[in-house]
Chains A and B, each alone.
Chain A
Amino acid sequence: MLKEFRPALFMLLLMTLLTGGLYPALITGLAQTLFPHQAHGSLMHHQGTIVGSNLIGQPFSDAGYFWSRPSATTPMPYHAGSSSGSNTGPTHPDWETTIKNRITLLKESNPQQKLPIPIDLVTTSASGLDPHISPAAAQWQIPRVARARGLSEQTLGDLVARHTAGRTFGILGEPRVNTLALNQALDQDGTQP
């Protein structure tokens, strides 16, 4: 073992220099030069303040906004400094009550909507930071937002359609709507809730 001690020690030091120093430094330099927006977290700025990241969801509860999915981060929802899923198992004894409460909240805020609620609106995401809801979940919320903002459902339907991203190359992943981008667009139209 002693015979291999010197190579082991020096190899560890040099590999640390190479893969723990040079490699991340090189990637940082290249990424920040080639893709500065992405490398810094895809942050959005408005009048000098950071107003969020394109990739990170925010919580919404006003009737005039499209709501994001429930979030399991603590203590605040969508805490992007401490990502977390709920880790609730499929037969957890409190599970039914949790889902029922979410259903009640959604239905009471949107009494005109008679369609069944899409599953993603009552389940938490893996990260607690999911920026997206499904197109069905956005459409489901249109009557509530329309009433709160005094807009027609047609106008909102068009807006949702404009903010719907399809599968990548028509194949990969799932169709989705970025709630933060959608709500920012709503506010920019000048019809405050």
Chain B
Amino acid sequence: MTANGIFQIVLYLSVLLFLAWPLGVTMARIYAKELPIGLRWTSPVERGLYRLCGVKADEEMSWIRYALAVLTFNLLGILAVYLLQRIQIGLPFNPQSQANISPDLSFNTAISFASNTNWQSYGGETTLSYLTQMVGLTVQNFVSAATGMAVLVALMRAFTRKEIQTIGNFWVDMTRSTLYILLPLSLILALLLAQQGVVQTFSPYQSAKLLQPVTYEEPVNGPDCQPLKDANGQTITKKQTATEQVIALGPVASQVAIKQLGTNGGGFFNVNSAHPLENPTPLSNLMEMLAILLIPAALCFTFGRFVGDDRQGMAILAAMVIVFTAFLTLCVQAEQSGNPLFNKLGLDVIASNQSPGGNMEGKEVRFGIVNSAIWATATTAASNGSVNAMHDSFTPLGGLVPMVLMQLGEIIFGGVGSGLYGMILFAMLGVFISGLMIGRTPEYLGKKIEAFEIKMASLAILIPFLAVLLGTAVAVVTEAGRAGIANPGVHGFSEILYAFSSTGNNNGSAFAGLSANTPFYNILLGVAMLLARYWVIIPVLAIAGSLAAKKTIPSSAGTLPTHTPLFVAILVGVIIIIGALTFLPALALGPIVEHLHMIHGHS
């Protein structure tokens, strides 16, 4: 790794932690109904919202009612986004006259955004109207993130309660998350990004005169709109000359800000934050990368405040940072080492102050290797899924890193809210396993962890695993599944495994060569996203209900402390062992074999 590379990584992590602490503390105050001075003027808005919606803010909910509120709200969100896409041609703010979208793609996209996955089977600038992007997707970017945060708050609250049957009010938790955390942060970030050059306009796309006209080969389409092929199966093309370049625009900055802050990740444009109008400069890149991990990291501090012991949150954050740093190092190394093929062909691949070197396929020069690798690691550690480089073109080991981070269950930072509640399940599993070893009833933060909690935690951990592995298996044995592969051979398997790892953990990034916009993939991946989101939320809320109803027991000499380096090591161990046991066989068939092929010069 270059000295500058190490410096950029250290800088990134330092700024992240520096910002996360005050935000985490502030969020704890907000959820405790104590607003910071700068936000107090908005509290009439909050009260007005409740009045219009018929919500009684001080009415508490049982876990079942809380879960029903989550599900009803999310179901309506899915319906709204689905409908918007189906009728967008008849609606305003569609300057490019984008057509109505097919039922299967609308289904996939609606679930994708409501479940905070933001998997994209479509290309934004060629498919969606400005209205669909704003009123459909941007809204879900906010409320799906707020839903995750609300569920986490309910779980954290449960630890603080003694023999109480309720866990809070979903509408209040969701509203406060949106109004006081996501909206203010998005306003600031959107303006900072706009200053850097992220476009924000309702004007139609513009045409620019090219400095040098360009000649290119365009495929000739038959009457069925499919490219014609000659007798040898080659696509027939004709020469075309263009003197103009169409430039796609749109209300991008507002959507990118919440896309990053809410660990959503669905880009305005097809290539997401690799697009120069979505991420124009190294500075905008740093801001967006910080925004990916900011709230998930800060929530660890919020957790510490909630349970009355800051060290508890820091222990969890430490486990996250350790796993993150290890994988980040591997990713940077793999991408900087590049592809032996480049050396064989005599190319200049040495990193210097004149050239980024390494594997630059699918990467932007302004970001180079290091920032592409940090982004790939951060976006998959968090369940963000936005990209600033094409993961499909990463080296096998470079691409293994984002794949594994998703497969671990999106808990290394993870999604806003969802990452930490997933991590707390692993912490419970950690104390449970330790408890078995020392022969005592396990406790976590003063609550006994018993059969019901472990059953629910196991469900929440195993169902996403099942979605990933079963989905991959179905896709590789069916014609429709294999038809989507872009890179033949081992890499094609990796493309499919990546798609299900991503949707089966609500990440949303892709090995984008896979042609996923088919009824087969749209439906199968849609189902994976539903399972991964709601079959984690329901067991988590069940645990919250159960914990809130329990007595709190004071810690004794027999209690395993959960803020020590030892516990951090146990936690990391549990995560890595469970992840490795589940996914090593699949990884061996994909990126690991491909790595061996690559270094031995096979293709």
Q: Are A91 and B597 neighbours in the complex by a CB distance under 8 Å?
A: yes
Q: Are A7 and B171 neighbours in the complex by a CB distance under 8 Å?
A: yes
Proximity bits, B481-520, A CB within 8 Å = 1, else 0? 0000011111100110000000000000001110000000
Q: Are A77 and B214 neighbours in the complex by a CB distance under 8 Å?
A: yes
Q: Are A75 and B240 neighbours in the complex by a CB distance under 8 Å?
A: yes
Q: Are B4 and A167 neighbours in the complex by a CB distance under 8 Å?
A: yes
Q: Are B187 and A125 neighbours in the complex by a CB distance under 8 Å?
A: no
Give every chain B residue within 8 A of A93 (Cβ-Cβ). 488-489, 603
Give every chain B residue within 8 A of A69 (Cβ-Cβ). 365
CA distance A91 to B7 in the complex (A): 31
Of B194, B366, B371, B512, chain A has the most CB atoms within 10 Å of the CB of B366
Proximity bits, A72-87, B CB within 8 Å = 1, else 0? 0001111111111111
CA distance A123 to B212 in the complex (A): 21
B273 to chain A, nearest CB (A): 9
B359 to chain A, nearest CB (A): 7
Of A16, A24, A49, A124, chain B has the most CB atoms within 10 Å of the CB of A24
Give every chain A residue within 8 A of B511 (Cβ-Cβ). 87, 89
Residue of A nearest to B594 (CB): A91
Asked if A11 is at the interface of the complex by the 8 Å CB criterion, the answer is yes
Give every chain A residue within 8 A of B212 (Cβ-Cβ). 58-62, 65, 183
- Decide yes or no: A119 and B49 within 8 Å by CB, A52-B208, A62-B212, A100-B345 being known contacts: no
B197 to chain A, nearest CB (A): 5
Q: Size range of the interface on B? A: 35 or more
CA distance A8 to B597 in the complex (A): 53
Per the 8 Å Cβ criterion, residues 81-140 of B in contact with A are 123, 125-126, 134-136, 138-139
Asked if B210 is at the interface of the complex by the 8 Å CB criterion, the answer is yes
Give every chain A residue within 8 A of B171 (Cβ-Cβ). 7, 11
Give every chain B residue within 8 A of A172 (Cβ-Cβ). 8, 282-283, 285-286, 371
- Decide yes or no: A126 and B362 within 8 Å by CB, A56-B247, A91-B598, A93-B603 being known contacts: yes
- Decide yes or no: A10 and B269 within 8 Å by CB, A38-B194, A85-B390 being known contacts: no
Per the 8 Å Cβ criterion, residues 8-39 of A in contact with B are 8-12, 14-16, 18-21, 23-24, 26-28, 30-32, 34-35, 38-39
Q: Are B365 and A133 neighbours in the complex by a CB distance under 8 Å?
A: yes
CA distance A44 to B514 in the complex (A): 36
Give every chain A residue within 8 A of B490 (Cβ-Cβ). 91
Q: Are A92 and B603 neighbours in the complex by a CB distance under 8 Å?
A: yes
Q: Are A15 and B365 neighbours in the complex by a CB distance under 8 Å?
A: no
Chain B contact residues: over half helix, strand or loop, or mixed? mixed
Per the 8 Å Cβ criterion, residues 361-410 of B in contact with A are 361-368, 371-372, 387-390, 392-396
Residue of B nearest to A28 (CB): B200
Q: Are A34 and B191 neighbours in the complex by a CB distance under 8 Å?
A: yes
Per the 8 Å Cβ criterion, residues 341-359 of B in contact with A are 341-342, 345-349, 352-359
Q: Are A129 and B275 neighbours in the complex by a CB distance under 8 Å?
A: yes
Proximity bits, B22-50, A CB within 8 Å = 1, else 0? 00000000000000000000000000010
CA distance A60 to B594 in the complex (A): 35
Q: Are B53 and A75 neighbours in the complex by a CB distance under 8 Å?
A: no
Partner of B54, one of A7, A35, A91: A7
Number of interface residues of A (CB under 8 A): 110
Give every chain A residue within 8 A of B68 (Cβ-Cβ). 1, 3-4
B485 to chain A, nearest CB (A): 10
Among B72-80, B444-452, B555-563, B581-589, the stretch that binds chain A is B72-80
Q: Are B388 and A39 neighbours in the complex by a CB distance under 8 Å?
A: no
Q: Are B202 and A28 neighbours in the complex by a CB distance under 8 Å?
A: yes
Residue of B nearest to A45 (CB): B208
- Decide yes or no: A87 and B512 within 8 Å by CB, A77-B214, A82-B125, A172-B282 being known contacts: yes
Asked if A131 is at the interface of the complex by the 8 Å CB criterion, the answer is yes
Q: Are B216 and A76 neighbours in the complex by a CB distance under 8 Å?
A: yes
Partner of B138, one of A20, A38, A129: A20
Partner of B254, one of A24, A52, A82, A131: A24
Of A6, A41, A81, A86, chain B has the most CB atoms within 10 Å of the CB of A41
Give every chain A residue within 8 A of B141 (Cβ-Cβ). 19
Give every chain A residue within 8 A of B367 (Cβ-Cβ). 173-174
CA distance A126 to B360 in the complex (A): 9
CA distance A89 to B361 in the complex (A): 9
Asked if A111 is at the interface of the complex by the 8 Å CB criterion, the answer is no
- Decide yes or no: A24 and B138 within 8 Å by CB, A34-B191, A172-B8 being known contacts: yes
Beyond contacts A38-B197, A41-B277: 15 other A-B pairs, Cβ-Cβ < 8 A, are A11-B55, A11-B174, A19-B183, A28-B202, A53-B247, A76-B242, A82-B270, A85-B390, A90-B341, A95-B603, A125-B274, A126-B389, A136-B348, A172-B371, A174-B356
A–B Cβ pairs within 8 angstroms, 28 of them: A8-B69, A8-B73, A16-B80, A20-B136, A21-B135, A24-B138, A24-B251, A27-B187, A34-B195, A38-B199, A40-B249, A42-B197, A61-B212, A80-B248, A84-B123, A89-B513, A90-B393, A99-B341, A119-B348, A119-B359, A123-B362, A125-B274, A126-B387, A128-B271, A132-B364, A136-B352, A173-B371, A176-B366
Top 3 A-B pairs, shortest CB-CB distance: A173-B282, A87-B513, A126-B274
